[in-house]
Amino acid sequence: MSQIEDRHIISEYNGLYFCDTFIARELVVLILTQVDYKGVIANCRLVCKQWNSIITDQLFWKHKTVSEKRKWPSLPRDCNFPGIFYASIYIYDAVGRNLIQNPNGKYRLQHWTVLSKAGDGFAFEQPPVGSDVVPLEAENDCKLVENACFATSYHSCSKEQIIDLSVLGFSLDVFKQCKPKIYFKDWYAGRFDCGCVYECTFSLLDEAKNVIDDFQFRTSINQWEGRKWHKVEHCFKEYPENVRYVKFYHGGTDRKFWAGHYGVKMTGASVIVSFI
């Protein structure tokens, strides 16, 4: 074989040509899955068209995820998402998991924006004082078995989390092609000896953080009728395509104005984006 023909073959196969041997695509995939994802995206993808094709393919990131004994989520087959979205599934694991951080107060108020903390403010209780044990379903939502919760006081206590979906890979293109379901859920309970008020608002926001869709819920629990845990949930299915953020808000107070933390208790907050 002439040097000209040899150079032609090397140019044609580029990154698939090592040590005078053509390497099967499957073997290249196996090798690349062993590379740190930052190196794969920043460097390996730029080597040649073939490598870029491999790295922007859903199957590459699925294989890399499974090879690390992690779960790959169910995705619609009729959508052609950009390659970076499949990479973001591996990096952020944002599909099908709870996006709320510190859902049960284990880290006190970390990750939450406190809007009001009147009376004696928020408290962390483990176990909940004057209430039933936290339901197993709520703890499964948190991926924690802690029997823990937030407790409110005798004046308004409220907080929120705003999640930027775009940094987790959910671009406008993803929402245009196939709107994933956005599930919100929260758990609340009163004390056996004091009435309380609970409220929550689940919102979808655009790029300017304007509300484009929301769900609101408010209820009151009478004295001696508390202690049982209740679930409130909502699923956004049909909504405008320009979703950028989701906002989870909840709060409450007691109805007797007793010093301490006799107000509503909250745990198991969750926001899940799913294609199934």
Give domain status of residue 40, yes or no.
Answer: yes
* 228 & 130 share domain: yes
Give domain status of residue 164, yes or no.
Answer: yes
Give domain status of residue 198, yes or no.
Answer: yes
Number of Cβ within a 10 Å radius of residue 142: 21
Give domain status of residue 99, yes or no.
Answer: no
pLDDT of 109 reads 97
* 70 & 125 share domain: no
Tell me: the pLDDT tens digits for 218-243? 999 999 999 999 999 999 999 999 99
* 60 & 173 share domain: no
Of 63, 78, 93, the residue at which a domain comes to its end is: 78
- CATH no. for residue 201? 2.60.120.260
- The list of the chain residues with pLDDT below 50 reads 1-13, 15-21
Give domain status of residue 85, yes or no.
Answer: no
Q: Which domain holds residue 186?
A: 113-274
- CATH no. for residue 12? 1.20.1280.50
* 52 & 146 share domain: no
Of 22, 55, 78, the residue at which a domain comes to its end is: 78
* 34 & 122 share domain: no
* 57 & 169 share domain: no
3-state secondary structure 40-99: HHHCHHHCCHHHHHHHCCHHHHHHHHHHCCCCCCCCCCCCCCCHHHHHHHHHHCCECCCC
Residues 211, 197, 226, 215: what is their CA dihedral angle, to the nearest 10 degrees?
-20
Residues 178/269, Cβ–Cβ less than 8 Å: no
* 62 & 157 share domain: no
Give domain status of residue 43, yes or no.
Answer: yes
* 122 & 234 share domain: yes
Give domain status of residue 103, yes or no.
Answer: no
* 186 & 59 share domain: no
pLDDT of 186 reads 98
* 74 & 124 share domain: no
* 211 & 120 share domain: yes
| Tally of structural domains, the chain | 2
* 25 & 119 share domain: no
Of 56, 78, 100, the residue at which a domain comes to its end is: 78
H helix count then E strand count, the chain: 8, 12
Give domain status of residue 67, yes or no.
Answer: yes
